[in-house]
């Protein structure tokens, strides 16, 4: 487990360097990301060469996380998990539920503490000691320092770490080329743009300064094994096909959710709303995931044949499940940050806007409204967006979800075969959830 005192400390760059170094030794590396983040996970997928999985103890109960972790690591030599925010930051400030520390305890993972040493020296040892001693149930393997400026800087920081009885397991130098590109939802994902050659070179240079032997000696089998309640004993034969939007505009998906759909009888058929002229033939469902449709709004709006194909699919009863960016695309249109309006599929009557944008972020408990194909369902969910819906809220008969944390609030639109909302689900949240979605598409 790679953890830190706060966001921006260098967890992602350290994790990427570590994964690349392990792969260079010929090891099969399974990566994970704590929390609901899609973007860091896409970078970890790029580095490891196999799909990264999310470990979120709010979206998915502990027993299911154990099952998903065990399933993903069965064909790997080593697992590397990137934490989220600060080591003990989770769902709320009252407990550390769904935090990096929570997942480390659940799986029995040794923790590498990443510290940003850019504006510090010997004091990094005191910070590391505070993190290491705040919860004695954690097994802290050692410290990795980020943004080291020189050999002298490294020597002073090493002295501080070793003075408090912790091991220094490596460092990353202060290199401008190690900076990963960002935008308003986080890092730019690898599905949209792979790291530049200079970044790849810097990551490998940083990997050379990690004590890989010591890191591997600290690794151990997970403390607990998971049961089997999410997946069928054998993969079901395909009973329906689901078209899944995958391109630069739409790429926010949890890999375990996709695996569950396939295991319960869905053939997943990728298509591009940017480039394709029609949906794949014969599909019973369409999954429009999240992403950045607003950055590609003019191209999406100009692809009239695909928009027409979506409307025709809706008219003949094809199930359309649209999350966040996918819901924006399924709506009447998108107003971008400059105020330009772009017409979209019109499967629900609202417009989305990026003007005067404001972050809407948090975990939710939601109940599927009667018009939702998943009704009745009460489930943990997540919301993370800067856009907002313009105009009136849907009438109660057309809402997709009731947000139980905010009495009286509804979210999204639903109708025969349509669910479109800002709510993100992980299909590992409950046994049978993926099966129900496959059944609806069948």
Q: Kindly report the pTM of this predicted structure.
A: 0.94
CATH number corresponding to 2-218: 3.40.50.300
Instruction: List pLDDT tens digits, range 412-440.
Output: 999 999 999 999 999 999 999 999 999 99
Q: 286 to each of 195, 241, 419, how far by Cα in Å?
A: 30, 9, 11
Q: With bands split at pLDDT 50, 70 and 90, how would you rate the model's confidence at 347?
A: very high
Q: Is the pLDDT of residue 182 over 80?
A: no
pLDDT band, residue 188 (cuts 50/70/90): low
Rounded to whole angstroms, the Cα distance separating 395 from 89 reads 37
Q: Does the fold of domain 240-441 match that of domain 2-218?
A: yes
Domain boundaries, the chain: 2-218, 240-441
Of 246 and 182, the one with more pLDDT? 246
What topology does CATH give the domain 240-441?
Rossmann fold (3.40.50)
Residue with tokens 């408990």: 365
| pLDDT over 90 at 364, yes or no | yes
Q: Which of 52, 157, 324, 441 is catalytic?
A: 324
Tokens 């997942």: give the residue: 103
C-beta neighbour count of 156 within 10 angstroms: 17
Q: Has residue 184 got a pLDDT over 70? A: no
SS (H, E, C) the chain: CEEECCCCCCHHHHHHHHHHHHHHCCCCEEEEEECCCCHHHHHHHHHHCCCCEEECCCCCCHHHHHHHHHHHHCCCCEEEEECCCCCCCCCCCCCCCCCHHHHHHHHCCCEEEEEECCCCCCCHHHHHHHHHHCCCCCCEEEEEEEEECCHHHHHHHHHHHHHCCCCEEEEEECCHHHCCCEECCEECCCCCCCCCHHHHHHHHHHHCCECHHHHHHHCCCCCCCCCCCCCCCCCCCCCEEEEEECCCCEEECCHHHHHHHHHCCEEEEEECCCCCCCCCCCCCEEEECEECHHHHHHHHHHCHHHHHHHHHHHHCCCEEEEECHHHHHHCCEEECCCCCEEECCCCCCCEEECCCCCCEEEEEEEEECCCCCCCCCEEEEEEEECCEEECCCCCHHHEEEEECCCCCCEEEEEECCEEEECCECCCCCCCCHHHHHHHHHC
Of 31-45, 169-183, 205-219, 395-409, least confident by mean pLDDT is 169-183
- Is 157 marked active-site? no
């Amino acid at each position: 487990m790679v953890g830190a005192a706060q966001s921006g400390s260098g967890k992602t760059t350290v994790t990427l360097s570590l994964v690349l170094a392990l792969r260079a030794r010929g090891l099969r590396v399974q990566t994970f990301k704590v929390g609901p983040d899609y973007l860091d996970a896409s970078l970890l997928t790029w580095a490891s060469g196999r799909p990264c999985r999310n470990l979120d103890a709010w979206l998915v109960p502990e027993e299911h996380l154990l099952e998903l972790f065990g399933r993903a690591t069965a064909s790997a030599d080593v697992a590397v998990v990137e934490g989220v925010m600060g080591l003990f930051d989770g769902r709320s400030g009252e407990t550390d539920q769904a935090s990096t520390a929570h997942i480390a305890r659940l799986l029995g993972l040794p923790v590498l503490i990443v510290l940003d040493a850019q504006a510090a020296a010997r004091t990094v040892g005191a910070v590391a000691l505070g993190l290491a001693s705040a919860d004695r149930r954690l097994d802290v393997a050692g410290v990795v320092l980020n943004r080291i400026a020189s050999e002298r800087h490294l020597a002073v920081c090493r002295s501080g770490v070793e003075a408090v009885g912790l091991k220094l397991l490596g460092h990353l130098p202060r290199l401008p080329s190690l900076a990963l590109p960002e935008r308003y939802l986080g890092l730019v994902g690898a599905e949209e743009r792979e790291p530049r050659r200079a970044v790849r070179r810097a990551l490998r240079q940083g990997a050379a300064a990690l004590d890989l032997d010591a890191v591997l000696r600290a690794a151990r089998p997970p403390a607990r094994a998971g049961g089997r309640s999410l997946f069928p004993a054998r993969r079901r034969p395909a009973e329906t096909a689901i078209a899944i939007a995958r391109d630069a505009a739409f790429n926010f998906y949890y890999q375990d959710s996709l695996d569950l759909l396939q295991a319960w009888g869905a053939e997943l058929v990728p298509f591009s709303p940017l480039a394709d002229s029609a949906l794949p033939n014969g599909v019973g469902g369409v999954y429009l995931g999240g992403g950045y449709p607003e950055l590609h709004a003019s191209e999406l709006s100009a692809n009239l044949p695909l928009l027409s194909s979506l409307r025709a699919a809706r008219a003949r009863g094809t199930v359309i499940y649209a999350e966040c960016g996918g819901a924006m695309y399924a709506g009447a249109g998108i107003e971008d940050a400059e105020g330009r309006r772009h017409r979209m599929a019109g499967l629900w009557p609202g417009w989305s806007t990026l003007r005067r944008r404001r972050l809407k972020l948090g975990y939710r408990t939601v109940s599927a409204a009667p018009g939702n194909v998943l009704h009745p369902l009460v489930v943990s969910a997540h919301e993370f967006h800067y856009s907002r819906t313009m105009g009136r809220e849907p009438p109660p008969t057309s809402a997709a979800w009731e947000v139980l944390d905010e009495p009286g609030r509804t979210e999204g639109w639903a109708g025969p075969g349509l669910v479109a909302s800002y709510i993100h689900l992980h299909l590992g949240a409950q046994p049978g959830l993926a099966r129900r979605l496959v059944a609806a598409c069948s």
